[in-house]
């Protein structure tokens, strides 16, 4: 589903590469934790998958497509197959829960009857049924992240990218979010999650890829956060 082949990324103003000869293969339906300290290259890794950045050398394949050969007007099509969740939720404060989720479908031109059908479904799935007409500032952090996950998942993407989705949440709420991501993973969606949260990684026992200064230093099938902690 995702393949990075000897990928090196050097930002124009940086002396050291953000990613240095990284090779990672992620199968369809896998759940992968991307761990490592700040500046280890996790964000660059995720940005490459969305073609927000292009590698300096090496190739990135997502869903069987070589992103280097993907013309720039086809990038939106790529992004429709990838859902994204962030630490800061990125919800629209002036829109209700339902409108926030519907927005993701409206802007890719989905017809209204489809939107009216799938938005309540996905809100039920993330456990926000009945809160459709609330605004983000009336919700707890955990609930806001559920809205963001609903928005990322409403178009049934093949891949879900989560960049520290529990970074702003307390442990209990985080566990709830992880359960939700696990459920989404079980529907066949590949999940790539960058995180600092050792407790979560340890409890999930999923594949762990650790980056350090742009290099893959560990790739474990059922890993824990790290030895060095």
Applying CB under 8 A, which residues contact other proteins?
50, 72-73, 75-82, 84, 90, 92, 103-104, 106-109, 111-112, 151-152, 155
Block residue for tokens 């800061």? 88
Chain center to CA of 131? 24
Q: 33, 187 in Cβ contact below 8 A? A: no
Q: Which is nearer to other proteins, 107 or 221 (CB)?
A: 107
Beta bridge partners of 24: 4
| Residue 194: CB minimum distance to other proteins, A | 16
SS3 content of the chain, % helix, strand, coil (to 5): 35, 25, 40
Q: Which is nearer to other proteins, 90 or 205 (CB)?
A: 90
| Residue 104: CB minimum distance to other proteins, A | 4
Block residue for tokens 């000897």? 6
In DSSP notation, 44-96 reads: HHHHHHTTSS--SEEEEEETTEEGGGS-GGGHHHHHHTEEEEETT----TTS-
Block residue for tokens 């456990």? 127
Q: Which is nearer to other proteins, 72 or 222 (CB)?
A: 72
CA atoms within 13 A on the CB side of 44: 24
Q: Which is nearer to other proteins, 35 or 148 (CB)?
A: 148
| Residue 141: CB minimum distance to other proteins, A | 18
Cβ neighbours, 10 Å, residue 87: 18
| Residue 80: CB minimum distance to other proteins, A | 4
| Residue 81: CB minimum distance to other proteins, A | 8
| Residue 185: CB minimum distance to other proteins, A | 20
Q: Which is nearer to other proteins, 90 or 179 (CB)?
A: 90
Q: 168, 92 in Cβ contact below 8 A? A: no
Q: Which is nearer to other proteins, 155 or 175 (CB)?
A: 155
């Amino acid at each position: 589903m995702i393949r990075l082949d000897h990928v090196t990324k050097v930002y124009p103003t940086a002396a050291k590469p953000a990613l240095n000869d990284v090779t990672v293969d992620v199968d369809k339906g896998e759940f992968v934790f991307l761990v490592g300290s700040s500046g280890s290259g996790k964000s660059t890794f995720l940005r490459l998958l969305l073609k927000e950045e292009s590698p300096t050398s090496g190739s990135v394949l997502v869903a069987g497509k070589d992103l280097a050969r993907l013309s720039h007007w086809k990038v939106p099509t790529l992004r429709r197959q990838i859902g994204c969740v962030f630490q800061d939720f990125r919800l629209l404060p002036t829109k209700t829960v339902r409108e926030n989720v519907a927005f993701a479908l409206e802007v890719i031109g989905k017809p209204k009857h489809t939107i009216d059908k799938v938005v309540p479904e996905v809100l039920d799935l993330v456990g926000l049924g009945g809160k459709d007409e609330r605004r983000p500032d009336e919700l707890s952090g955990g609930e806001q992240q559920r809205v963001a996950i609903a928005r990322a998942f409403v178009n049934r993407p093949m891949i879900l990218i989560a960049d520290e989705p529990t970074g702003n949440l307390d442990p209990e709420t985080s566990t709830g979010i992880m359960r939700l991501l696990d459920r989404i993973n079980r529907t066949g969606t590949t999940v790539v999650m960058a995180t600092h949260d050792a407790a979560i990684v340890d409890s999930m026992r999923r594949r762990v890829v650790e980056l350090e200064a742009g290099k893959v230093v560990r790739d474990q099938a059922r890993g824990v956060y790290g030895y060095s902690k």
